[in-house]
């Protein structure tokens, strides 16, 4: 694999955040998987993308679901979870990114350059309204946080 798993996580995060109302809360990997937790504020926009991802799924396993949990305040919350599993994770992530961009009318994604601190801007990202208050600190370590509690409000 020519691209690091961390780079693939950041590229997928940046691509998903191009969809209106998506905020990725954390990414992670295990074995041949890439995992993301994210919020969806514009569900109709996301469901259009989800439909395309399911219709065009290639030679990889794609798991997308809502994860529910109870907060200390007794309220129930959820985050969306995406898990991509493949023997060729680089190709799978590239294919998913292409489908996401296709769903919002954009062209194929650019490859991030490893070690470039501004590589997310080479792909493009959008500023989301109502970002989580702790996002600035998490941004320094963008390919972490999958097992944390960032989905709580």
| pLDDT for 55 | 93
**Residue 99 structure tokens:** 């489908």
- Residues 74-93 as b or e (16 or more Cβ within 10 Å = b): eeeeebbbbbbbbeebbebb
Amino acid 119: pLDDT: 43
**Average pLDDT of each block of 10 consecutive residues along the chain (153 residues)?**
84 95 94 93 92 92 95 94 95 95 77 48 35 39 46 44
Catalogue the long-range contacts made by 32-35 (C-beta closer than 8 Å, 24 or more residues apart). Answer: 32/85, 32/86, 32/87, 32/89, 33/83, 33/84, 33/85, 33/89, 34/5, 34/8, 34/9, 34/83, 34/84, 34/89, 34/92, 34/93, 35/81, 35/82, 35/83, 35/84, 35/146
pLDDT for 115: 52
pLDDT for the residue numbered 10 = 95
In the block, residue with structure tokens 């060729």: 88
**pLDDT at residue 58, as a whole number:** 87
Judged on CB neighbours under 10 Å (0-12, 13-18, 19+), 17 is: buried
pLDDT of residue 111: 54
pLDDT at 108: 60
Residue where the block lists tokens 């890439």: 34
Tell me what pLDDT residue 32 has: 85
pLDDT for residue 124: 34
pTM of the model: 0.68
pLDDT of residue 85: 95
User: Using CA atoms, how far apart are residues 32 and 88, in angstroms rounded to an integer?
Assistant: 8
- Domains in the chain, start-ordered, CATH in brackets? 5-134 (3.30.1360)
């Amino acid at each position: 694999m020519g691209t690091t798993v961390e780079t693939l996580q950041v590229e997928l995060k940046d691509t998903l955040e191009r969809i209106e109302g998506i905020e990725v809360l954390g990414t992670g990997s295990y074995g041949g998987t890439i995992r993301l937790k994210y919020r969806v504020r514009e569900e109709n926009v996301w469901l259009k993308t989800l439909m395309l991802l399911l219709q065009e799924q290639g030679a990889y396993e794609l798991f997308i679901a809502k994860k529910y949990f109870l907060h200390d305040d007794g309220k129930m919350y959820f985050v969306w979870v995406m898990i991509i599993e493949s023997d060729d994770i680089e190709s799978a992530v590239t294919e998913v990114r292409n489908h996401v961009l296709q769903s919002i009318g954009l062209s194929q994604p650019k490859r991030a350059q490893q070690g470039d601190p501004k590589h997310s801007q080479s792909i493009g990202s959008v500023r989301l309204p109502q970002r989580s208050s702790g996002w600035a600190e998490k941004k320094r370590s963008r390919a972490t946080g999958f097992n944390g509690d960032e989905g709580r409000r």
